[in-house]
Amino acid sequence: MKRNGGTLLFNLYLVCLNRDLLWFVREIHVQSLINTQVKIWQ
């Protein structure tokens, strides 16, 4: 029971970590797109 609970918490932690990672990657992607647009306009 204790091990299952630990696994559940660990899975929850991984889900949160993946969500933060996806957000981080998306932010970087948006920034690079904006930078590319600025270079095109200039």
Mean of pLDDT values over 22-38: 91
Top pLDDT among 36 and 40 is at 36
Task: For the chain, give the mean pLDDT.
Answer: 86
Q: What is the pLDDT of residues 4-21, one digit of tens each?
A: 667 888 888 999 899 999
Tell if the pTM clears 0.85, that is, is over it: no
Report the run of H or E that residue 2 belongs to, with start and end: helix 2-41
Residue 39 has what pLDDT? 85
Q: What is each CA distance from 16 to 6, 8, 25, 28, 31, in whole angstroms?
A: 15, 12, 14, 18, 23
List C-alpha distances in Å: 9 to 4, 15, 16, 22, 32: 9, 10, 11, 20, 35
The C-alpha atoms of residue 25 and residue 16 are separated, in whole angstroms, by 14
Residue 20 vs residue 41, higher pLDDT: 20
Tell me what pLDDT residue 2 has. 60
